Amino acid sequence: MNIIVRTLISFGICFLVTLLIYLLFINKKRKEYVEGKGQVDIYYLVKKYKLDMRKTKYKTVKLIVAFINSFIISFTFALIVNLKYKYVLKLLIAFVIMFVLIYSLYEIVGRILKSKENKDI
């Protein structure tokens, strides 16, 4: 039980810190979407799912991306810190976890944003 509580606390602290960094520093740079400039992850969502940024609010997309990235970083951190393996194996596990989370969460969010965009028509 002690490991679970420690993992949840480290997840929560890491999530809050990374979310604050995203909201205070990274998302304040640009107020509107400009193609080819800004965050790469937003550019990826727009290109892959052919999102029309005139219909989708850029501020909403920035907030969603901030939550996703904070979750990915904090989940990976909380899991890797509590593993009792060697350093290289921890790095490999972290890479695999991050790759799976990035692909799956961005896929889900991209499809949701595209379906909401199509419903607004």
Cβ neighbours around 70 below 10 Å, total: 20
Range of the domain at 104: 2-119
Lowest mean per-residue pLDDT among 10-14, 26-30, 69-73, 97-101: 26-30
User: What pLDDT sits at residue 29?
Assistant: 66
User: What pLDDT sits at residue 12?
Assistant: 93
Closest CA to 57 of 36, 39, 33, 40: 33
User: What pLDDT sits at residue 13?
Assistant: 94
pLDDT over 80 at 88, yes or no: yes
Token look-up 């909201």 returns 23
Q: What is the tally of structural domains in the chain? A: 1
User: What pLDDT sits at residue 52?
Assistant: 80
Q: Does 119 or 111 have the greater pLDDT score? A: 111
The structure tokens listed for 32 are 């509107």
Kindly report, residue by residue over 33-78, the tens digit of the pLDDT. Answer: 666 566 778 888 888 888 887 787 878 888 898 999 999 999 999 9
**Cα Rg of the chain (Å, integer):** 17
The segment with the largest mean pLDDT, out of 24-33, 77-86, 98-107, is 98-107
